[in-house]
Amino acid sequence: MLNNTLPKYFDPRKYANQKVALEGRVALALMPELSEVLTSNEGDAVVHLDFRVDEDRRYIATGSVKATVHLECQRCMHPVGIELGVDLSLGFVYDEDHAKNLPAEYDPVVMTEGEVILADMIEQELLLALPIVAYHEENGCNPMALKYASSTDDAPDDEIKPNPFSVLADLKVKKS
């Protein structure tokens, strides 16, 4: 178990110069943009970052972030837990212009007044790692929800629906 309390803000230059190794948890509840797309923002992101100054005097951090997030399954509309794991290779820069000069292997993180808000930085990484649509694994859907979704007999009468028996007949024809 990791119980380390991570700082809310940090100075990447200081951390890089001191070769700080950061390891701990950041609550998903601190990430409003991410929380909005999740069915629940309970839980934490587990963060591991090693800071250093590279050969070109850049402030760098490499490591990973892992989190289990809950999205709405697009088949049964119930929450499905998705494990996200992102390898991080971050280059801390003063502004967007500096970001353009960063080698491609580094994701730029722009410092504000020399500091970075840890939860904001982690949130951006997790947002990029989210799948576009989420589904349970095969047969993992909520059976009650599926049953309910397929028995929409109380739908408006003017809605044109294929006759289920004609669909069955089609299947029989195709099989033979």
CB nearer Zn ion, residue 58 or residue 136: 136
Chain residues 77-136 in contact with Zn ion, contact rule CB under 5 A: 136
**Which tokens sit at 156?**
């408006």
- Interaction between residue 31 and Zn ion (CB under 5 A): no
Asked if 75 is part of the footprint of Zn ion (rule: CB under 5 A), the reply reads yes
Determine the interface stretch with Zn ion among 31-39, 44-52, 88-96, 138-146 (rule: CB under 5 A). 138-146
Residue listed under structure tokens 């992101």: 45
Task: Measure CA of the first residue to CA of the last residue in the chain; give whole Å.
Answer: 58
Q: Which is nearer to Zn ion, 114 or 143 (CB)?
A: 143
- Does position 73 interact with Zn ion (CB under 5 A)? The reply is yes
Backbone angles phi, psi at 55, to 5 degrees: -65, -20
C-beta closer to Zn ion: residue 128 or 144: 144
Nearer to Zn ion, 24 or 79 (CB): 79
How many Å apart are CA 72 and CA 79, to the nearest integer? 5
Q: Can you tell me whether residue 87 is helix, strand or coil?
A: strand
Say if CB 64 and CB 48 are below 8 A apart: yes
Tell me, by CB under 5 A, how many residues bind Zn ion: 5
Structure-token pair, residue 129: 């790692």
